[in-house]
Chain A
Amino acid sequence: MPRRDDLKTILLLGSGPIVIGQACEFDYSGTQACKGLREDGYRVVLVNSNPATIMTDPETADRTYIEPLTWQVIEKVIEIERPDALLPTLGGQTALNLAMDLDRHGVLQRYGVEMIGAKADAIRRAEDREAFKTTMDSIGLETCCGKTVKSLAEAREVLREVGLPAVIRPSFTLGGSGSGVAFNREEFDQKVARGLDLSPVGEVLVEESILGWKEYEMEVMRDADDNAVIICSIENFDPCGIHTGDSITVAPAMTLTDKQYQRMRDASFAVIRAIGVETGGSNIQFAVHPTNGRMIVIEMNPRVSRSSALASKATGFPIAKIAAKLAVGWRLHELPNDITKKTKACFEPSIDYCVVKIPRFAFEKFPEADSRLSTQMKSVGETMAIGRTFKEAFQKALRGLEVGSFGFGCDGKDLWGTPAEPSIDDIRARVATPDPDRVWYLRYAVKAGMTIDEIHELTAIDRWFLDQLVQIVETESLLRTCGSLGATEDSLLRAAKQDGFSDRQLATIFGCAELEVRADRKRRGILATYKAVDTCAAEFEASTPYFYSTWEEEDETPPKGSKKRVMILGGGPNRIGQGIEFDYCCCHASFALREMGIESVMVNSNPETVSTDYDTSDMLFFEPLTCEDVLNIADRIAPDGVIVQLGGQTPLNLARALASAGLPIIGTSVDTIEEAEDREKFRNLLERLSLRQPASGIARTLEQARREVARIGFPSLVRPSYVLGGRAMEICYDQSQFERYVAEAFVVAQGQPVLIDRFLEDAIEVDVDCICDGRDVIVAGVMEHIEEAGVHSGDSACVIPPHSLSPSVVASIKEAATALARSLRVVGLMNVQFAVKREDGEQTLYVIEVNPRASRTVPFVAKATGFPVAKVAVKVMAGMSLREQGITTDPIPSHISVKESVFPFVKFAGVDIVLGPEMRSTGEVMGVSDRLSIAFAKSQIAAGIVLPEKGRIFVSVASRQAKEAMVEISRKLIAMGFELLATSGTAKTIADAGLPVEVVKKLQEGHPNLIDHLIDGRVQLIMNTPRGKGARTDEGRIRAASVLYGVPCITTLPAADAVVLAMEAMRDEPLSVQALQDRFPKPAQTQERL
């Protein structure tokens, strides 16, 4: 039966901001769904609060609402658009929860909206632990022993049955938030209490521990005829006990016999049928006891998940697109397999390679957080590698992780053979404790002579995986025995490359330069070959050019035709400071190149993204972003251009090496990129342009740094050069702080200099994104930050257009940006950060930083102005001037857009949340309105900050100046009917102004203190500007507690001001929604056609 004709309009929900546990994979799935449904003639209405997505591009859906994801807002959209159906299974847990909310509040019934894909009762059966257990029982499948409880007392009852260690899982939380294993009673009580609190329904599941069991995932698809197929099996390298999102995982399953595998396959179908997911994809997790084979169903996601994205990229099968099509009635066998074109989507992919995914963590940003891995997901990104063998894929994935390693040891990061070589006791301890660095210690364990059985005993990692690691180390030993590259036989060198050794590792082993290895092996004819990902193990011809490198005989890349080829280097695994925003830019590069008739070639290693979708580019290379890997691809495809300015710092860091190797970098030259980073040259340039800059200095040694800071004065900003996301950047107010931070900056800088700037206190920060073609400049967006300078630009909220700057200041900002772009001979994108400081009644402009590359704000600017910033920039890079594109004036935003940042603090218990120069946000949301206050309010709601309508607000400020400002804020809060709480100091200021305030005890003054009030739910909002920083201070503990108890906490005065405005505005105006297509009646189409 073909598609349903009774449906015309379908509502699709996105997953909102990037958070831990929910990242770009839902942009990928939502975008595929939009494409798939529109291809079938449906009108697609999309709601998502995240502007940095391809799915929220005005061209992706018919109607696009960048609005907060709450059921109330969705109801307004439903009221306007009157969809026939809601497809809730492609926007992660967020969309599923929203759909359930809409159902619970009767909205779907009221407007006659049908839930397609999965119905509410199926979702409930899958998500409700008790219902899930009962359903599994009914089909004879085992689940973990345990019970859902609503109180600590009940939990202790259950503990008697299941025993320690016990697993605690709060119901309905994202990415397993709040989950954990308790090894003793104290830990158990703590985790249960926290779990009860985190669960939106106040429930936790207490269950038997399956620590050390083998863990698997099955990706299932089912159509309306009840035909079901397995798209991919995934085996976790890290056994049960570590969240699958934090585990190294491998596809397909490696260590199951056919009987064991088929048992799991049969069970998967039984589960999807019993739960009742009618159509689409589901992900089912299993645990298998390693010595008796007992199989347990861990859980089921009745929707497309992070693992489905991985499975899609691992097999070539477009799970999200097919899921969307199945939801509207297509049957699997009616849909073509897009990769082979000739066969149908009704089959089970067979793969003739091995896929390894490794998670990427960001604990360096949260030094106070516990880096041990457990059942709550903590990773912020992942990299995937494809190789012909596990060994090859594993080593590729390790270098794709971009943590300074180039494989399994034998690189700059390798401690073996150095004075820091770990002792055997050290190794044993580190191997037994799963954390992000355990993988390196597995190698040290092998190097130290531990046997496979010994390591298995400590880690429960399957012996087959461990043997592969041993084989890698054996190859390393063979190489070392050769002594030199010249003395290494061709066959061994080739074998090493086949085992995934990078040129860098070989260079380290032989003590020569990486390029020497490259030249030598090329002379010997040892070249990377590329194989297609084709869903069918070469049984059928593939028409989609999706490749991975290996070191075999046959290469499958198509010969170059008459079209030019341009290579786009992506951003690799998501991390804080480099994520979806850059992937968005890379995708647009591909779209722009295709429009120009140029073959786009994407290189990236991030399986979550749209950029690694099989039909985003003309060719896709799923490869790590290292110099060697990129040069190898270039050897085969001979690109006419390489774009390095869109993927964030990753490709930029490769630019010099690639240019030196002769690759044609297009757009801004590498010299310019370096000139902007070079402090001396940049200072001279600013002087030439008569632009001001805060006093600054550069230091290569500690002594130099001390001299510079003496000259510059305090407060000063200290940071290492060449890092993104404000890594190790700190504001120092005195010498002692300076001494502490400068030392760390030198460590992070890794031989590069440390930069010291005068810090402009209380200045307004402004971000500008512009495009230059070498002659003309377009200023695409001027963003005024809400938080004062000093908060990392990636973490602060910002507004387009500027709301407090005078027109003359905005004009001079644009002039300055234009002059800078021209002088630097920028071709493509440039981002400038300015600070505007009120000095002697005048707004004075300072240039803080210039980055001649795509910035994190490019997608936000595009969504705020309707101007396709990234595409225009790419066309400029590809040689089409702004004038040739018909672009002569800066876009003028027709409304006010606020970008707010979203933080992962809830995953890192106890961490101080105060904002600073080191970026810590994972994602962003956008609020749009004609009024600043409403736009800001929307951005807060979208970010999950529940601004109270009534109740108590705790205020606490540090400086005298801030206290005065707080009096004004307090006056407004009281006028709105709030009660104020404050500790003695701030309370006195407020009381002195004649305002009512309740004094609460400081933490050291005994009970009940503020935290007690928080626990009792007596506080609805905290406004606390920091005196000091760190989780150990009183304030730090208060702020950390606010995260724990879900009370919003505002940490800067400007944000407090904005919040008050927002709360006022929400009182006198109901929220309204508007589609992007109505805001931009003619979405830049005229320009694109040129």
Chain B
Amino acid sequence: MAKAALALEDGTVYYGDHFGATGTVSGEVCFNTSLVGYQEILTDPSYRGQILAMTAPEIGNYGVNPNDVESGRLQLSGFVVRHASRIASNFTATGTIGDYLADAGVVGIQGIDTRSLVRRLRMRGVMTGVLSSEVLESEKLIQKAQNALSLAGRDLVREVVPSGISQWNEKIDPIDLVAGVTGGGEAQEQNYAGREKQNHVVALDYGMKWNIARHLASAGYRVTVMPGTSTIAEVLAQKPDGVFLSNGPGDPEPLAYAIKTVASLVGKVPVYGICLGHQLLALACGAKTFKLKFGHRGANQPVMDLDTGKIEITSQNHGFAVDESSLPPELVVTHRNLNDDTIEGLRHRFAAAASVQYHPEAASGPHDATHLFARFGKMMA
């Protein structure tokens, strides 16, 4: 098997076996602790510019299929696993993970001590790194890793926003909405049933996971997807009943255009944000964000809804968070992470605006928070 190497800016080099596409890529090296859902993760635009290591050691077992995608392409730069499956074993599978990465031009490495990598990232914080199937000399790799661009201060959103406006019709497969369990889909449909007018939601796409749009459609809204670079005038021209701010990659602070749009929206139409959308809402209201040491990436993050006391196990993927000390008086903390107490949700005191840092659309991850799409519906009511 061909060799590949992963170097970190601190001078650590891991040698392993190559899989997926050949080449040399650089980016921020981070890790995700989800046990399943690698295909959704690979296609999540929020991983733009990153080299992602999975902590689950056996990856690719159930292959890939055309339905478990969260955007039109694979988004991350490099993929690091302990052991990639050479076969795809699931009735849904149409291909193997190796071919999937190769076709998408994503470089993969397997057979390295991923746990040692994760411990290093946990202790030192995320680092820039380089993953290569071509350059294997450690000196060169380390130099490349040190020269790689950090995520902080970069606008990655522009790389992943859609080019134009589109209507979204695809819904969640009903089999993935278990009645009475998630408080999700069917409850939302019922919530909507009997109402005269169909709410029109504009989803501002900063690198949106498609499951957000699917959930909005399943909740019964008319969904228009617009690029996250849209201006306030462009958004209002759509006459939305509510605006949904999507997730997206990287650092929110450099996104002045988006912050400006969101700031203008607040108070005019109901606004709901998730992940990057949550950070943009906070920044638009005057709060600050900061970079977490190694981020939250996984499907097991416990979050408490401070209004209800209920706990949701959530899917997360963010390297930045809202700084609590910077919160303006009009923002109220509604959700909190039980592991590190960071802010997981905000509500505007006076305007119809709220947000969560995590991913209620799941994909991949638990369905505990899908009821939040219905909460957004109530804001528009």
Contact = CB atoms under 8 A, between A and B. Distances in A.
Interface of A: 139-140, 225-227, 229, 233, 252-263, 265-267, 269-270, 273, 290-293, 332-333, 342-344, 346-354, 388-390, 452, 462-464, 467, 531, 536-541, 552-554, 556
A567 B179 CA distance: 52
B327 to A, nearest CB: 23
Interface stretch (B19-27, B196-204, B351-359, B363-371): B363-371
B325 interface: no
Contact of A257 (B90, B173, B311): B90
Interface in B46-99: 55-58, 61-62, 65, 67-68, 82-83, 85-87, 89-92
Interface in B102-131: 113-116, 118-119, 122
B33 A539 contact: yes
A553 B113 contact: yes
Interface in B3-56: 14, 31, 33-37, 39-40, 55-56
Contacts of A541: 122
Given A347-B301, A353-B57, A463-B89, A257 B116 contact: no
Nearest to B186: A140
Given A333-B304, A343-B338, 10 more contacts: A140-B179, A258-B37, A258-B364, A266-B182, A270-B178, A293-B92, A352-B57, A354-B58, A463-B89, A552-B113
B313 interface: yes
A258 B36 contact: yes
Given A266-B367, A343-B339, A538-B122, A255 B57 contact: no
A539 B175 CA distance: 32
A257 to B, nearest CB: 5
B262 to A, nearest CB: 30
Nearest to A140: B179
B55 A332 contact: no
A273 B180 CA distance: 10
A540 B62 CA distance: 28
A233 B35 CA distance: 10
B302 A333 contact: yes
Contact of A464 (B89, B116, B367): B89
B62 A265 contact: no
Contact of B36 (A253, A537, A556): A253
B62 A255 contact: yes
A147 to B, nearest CB: 25
Contacts of B40: 258
* Residue from B33, B40, B311 whose CB has the most chain A CB atoms within 10 Å: B311
A814 B232 CA distance: 96
Nearest to A270: B181
A257 B92 contact: yes
Contacts of A388: 57, 82-83, 115
A751 to B, nearest CB: 39
Contact of B87 (A463, A552, A556): A463
B65 A262 contact: no
Interface of B: 14, 31, 33-37, 39-40, 55-58, 61-62, 65, 67-68, 82-83, 85-87, 89-92, 113-116, 118-119, 122, 173, 175-176, 178-182, 298-302, 304, 309-311, 313, 338-339, 362-367
A325 to B, nearest CB: 16
A333 B304 CA distance: 9
Main secondary structure of the interface of A (DSSP, over half): loop
A354 B57 CA distance: 7
A658 B67 CA distance: 55
Contact of B91 (A290, A350, A353): A290
Given A350-B33, A536-B33, A344 B338 contact: yes
6 contacts: A225-B310, A229-B313, A265-B366, A267-B181, A352-B56, A553-B14
* Residue from A290, A348, A452, A539 whose CB has the most chain B CB atoms within 10 Å: A539
A262 B176 contact: yes
B309 to A, nearest CB: 6
A538 B304 CA distance: 23
Contacts of A263: 175-176, 178
A419 B175 CA distance: 54
Nearest to B55: A537
Contacts of B362: 262
Contact of B90 (A227, A255, A539, A556): A255
B178 A352 contact: no
A466 to B, nearest CB: 9
Given A139-B179, A263-B175, A332-B311, A256 B115 contact: no
B114 A352 contact: yes
B300 A350 contact: yes
Contacts of B367: 262, 265-266
B311 A552 contact: no
A582 B262 CA distance: 67
Nearest to B119: A538
B178 A140 contact: yes
A353 B82 CA distance: 10
* Residue from A226, A265, A467 whose CB has the most chain B CB atoms within 10 Å: A265
B313 A254 contact: no
A254 B57 CA distance: 10
Contacts of A269: 181
A167 to B, nearest CB: 23
B178 A267 contact: yes
Nearest to A535: B300
B118 A537 contact: yes
A390 B58 contact: yes
A531 B113 CA distance: 11
B91 A291 contact: yes
Nearest to B38: A258
Contacts of B298: 350, 537, 539
A537 B56 contact: yes
B360 to A, nearest CB: 13
A273 B181 CA distance: 9
B180 A139 contact: yes
B150 to A, nearest CB: 21
A5 B173 CA distance: 46
A254 B58 contact: yes
B178 A552 contact: no
Nearest to A536: B33
B34 A350 contact: yes
B154 to A, nearest CB: 25
